[in-house]
Amino acid sequence: MSATEISSPESPNRLAQATAYFLKFSLLFLILLFISSVFEIILASSDHNLKSGILSLIKWASLENLAFWLRIALPAYLIFSLVYLVSRSLAFILSNLAIILFFSIHLLLIYYYNTTLVMLGGDIFGYSLAEITQTVGASGTLAIVPVMIFLVFISLVIAGILFIRKRIFFPPVIGLLVPVLSAAYIFVGWDENVQPKLETDFETKLAENKSEHFYNAAYRHFEPEIYETDIYAESYVKNYLAGDDVLEPVEYVDEFNYPFLRKSTGHDVLGPYFETKQKKPNLVFILVEGLGRAFTNKNAELGNFTPFLDELSDKSLYWPNFLSGGGRTFAVLPSIFGSLPFGKTGFMELDQMPSELSLFNVLQKNDYQTAFYYGGNSTFDNMNRYLKANEVNRILDEPTFPEAYQKIPPSAGGFTWGYGDKELYRYYLNTVADDTTAAPYLNVILTVSTHDPFSVNDQDRYNERFEQRLEEIGFRDELKEEYSKYKKQYASILFMDDAIKEFFETYSKRADFNNTIFFITGDHRIPEIPMTSKIDRYHVPLMVYSPMLKRTAQIESISSHFDITPSVLAFMHEQYGIQTPSENAFVGQGLDTLRNFRNIHPIALKQTKTDFRDFVMGNYHLNGNSLYEIQPDMKEIPVNNPEKKAALQNAFDQFRRKNEQIIEGKKLIPDSLKVYGS
Burial class (CB in 10 A: 0-12, 13-18, 19+), 496: buried
Residue 243 has what pLDDT? 46
What is the percent of the chain with per-residue pLDDT over 90, rounded to a whole number? 67
Same domain, 393 and 531: yes
Residues 560/565/570/576 CA torsion (nearest 10 deg): 140
What are the backbone angles phi and psi of residue 326, rounded to the nearest 5°? -140, 170
Same domain, 571 and 653: yes
Helices 210-222 and 54-86 cross at an angle (nearest 10°) of 60
What are the backbone angles phi and psi of residue 317, rounded to the nearest 5°? -85, 120
Rounded CA-CA distance 340/359 in Å is: 11
Q: Which amino acid is at 381?
A: D
Helix (H) or strand (E) holding 620: strand 620-623
In the predicted model, what is the mean pLDDT of residues 454-466?
95
Same domain, 279 and 425: yes
The answer to whether position 228 is within a domain reads no
Q: What single string gives the DSSP state of each residue in 543-593?
A: EEE-TTBS--EE--S-EEGGGHHHHHHHHHHHHH-----SEE--S------
Rounded CA-CA distance 585/593 in Å is: 22
541 phi-psi bin (left φ>0, alpha ψ -120 to 50, beta other): beta
151, 143 Cβ separation under 8 angstroms: no
The answer to whether position 571 is within a domain reads yes
Lowest-pLDDT range of 1-10, 196-205, 521-530: 1-10
Residue 586 has pLDDT above 80, yes or no: yes
Rounded CA-CA distance 462/46 in Å is: 23
Number of domains in the chain: 2
Same domain, 365 and 495: yes
What are the helix (H) ranges across 305-450?
A: 307-313, 332-333, 359-364, 383-389, 421-431
378, 357 Cβ separation under 8 angstroms: no
Most confident residue range from 140-149, 153-162, 501-510: 501-510
Same domain, 121 and 55: yes
pLDDT band of residue 678 (cuts 50, 70, 90) is low
Using alpha carbons, select from 443, 451, 448 the residue that is nearest to residue 374.
448
Residue 141 has pLDDT above 70, yes or no: no
What are the backbone angles phi and psi of residue 673, rounded to the nearest 5°? -95, -5
Residue 118 has pLDDT above 90, yes or no: no
Residue 193's domain spans which residues?
A: 3-222
pLDDT band of residue 267 (cuts 50, 70, 90) is confident
The pLDDT tens digits for 296-308 are: 999 999 999 999 9
The answer to whether position 227 is within a domain reads no
pLDDT band of residue 173 (cuts 50, 70, 90) is confident
Same domain, 182 and 265: no
Using alpha carbons, select from 496, 468, 466 the residue that is nearest to residue 483.
466
Name the more confident of 200 and 289: 289
CATH number of the structural domain spanning residue 569: 3.40.720.10
In the predicted model, what is the mean pLDDT of residues 344-348?
94
The answer to whether position 171 is within a domain reads yes
Same domain, 314 and 207: no
- What strand order describes the sheet that includes 620-623? 603-605, 614-617, 620-623, 626-630, 636-638
Residue 416 has what pLDDT? 86
Residue 675 has pLDDT above 50, yes or no: yes
Same domain, 260 and 201: no
536, 562 Cβ separation under 8 angstroms: no
* Largest Cα span, the chain: 99
Residue 421 has pLDDT above 90, yes or no: yes
Q: What single string gives the DSSP state of each residue in 205-266?
A: HHHS-HHHHHHHHHHHHHSPP-----TTHHHHHHHHHGGGS-SPPP-BS-TTT-TT-EE---
Same domain, 511 and 460: yes
Most confident residue range from 50-64, 246-260, 438-452: 438-452
In the predicted model, what is the mean pLDDT of residues 204-216?
92
Pairing of strands 282-288, 516-522: parallel
What are the backbone angles phi and psi of residue 628, rounded to the nearest 5°? -130, 145
The answer to whether position 213 is within a domain reads yes
Rounded CA-CA distance 497/466 in Å is: 12
For residue 379, give every residue at least 6 positions away whose Cβ sits within 8 Å of its Cβ, in sequence order, or none: none
Residue 602 has pLDDT above 80, yes or no: yes
Name the more confident of 575 and 161: 575
Report the chain's mean pLDDT, rounded to a whole number: 88
Give the Å distances, CA to CA, from 298 to 293, 302, 523, 585.
9, 10, 20, 36
36, 104 Cβ separation under 8 angstroms: no
Give the Å distances, CA to CA, from 291 to 66, 523, 554, 622.
38, 7, 18, 23
> Strand, coil or helix: what is 623?
strand
In the predicted model, what is the mean pLDDT of residues 101-119?
88
In the predicted model, what is the mean pLDDT of residues 224-244?
52
Residue 196 has pLDDT above 90, yes or no: no
The answer to whether position 206 is within a domain reads yes
332, 287 Cβ separation under 8 angstroms: yes
Same domain, 258 and 203: no
The pLDDT tens digits for 321-336 are: 999 999 999 999 999 9
The answer to whether position 86 is within a domain reads yes
Residue 239 has pLDDT above 60, yes or no: no
Rounded CA-CA distance 601/616 in Å is: 8
290, 451 Cβ separation under 8 angstroms: yes
The answer to whether position 678 is within a domain reads no
Residue at which a domain ends, from 177, 203, 222: 222
Same domain, 353 and 500: yes
Residue at which a domain ends, from 222, 246, 261: 222
pLDDT band of residue 146 (cuts 50, 70, 90) is low
Rounded CA-CA distance 446/286 in Å is: 6
Same domain, 248 and 209: no
139, 85 Cβ separation under 8 angstroms: no
DSSP, res 458: T
Rounded CA-CA distance 89/82 in Å is: 13
In the predicted model, what is the mean pLDDT of residues 549-560?
97
Helix (H) or strand (E) holding 56: helix 54-86
Residue 232 has what pLDDT? 47
In the predicted model, what is the mean pLDDT of residues 428-433?
96
pLDDT band of residue 235 (cuts 50, 70, 90) is low
Residue at which a domain ends, from 195, 222, 249: 222
Residues 291/297/302/305 CA torsion (nearest 10 deg): 70
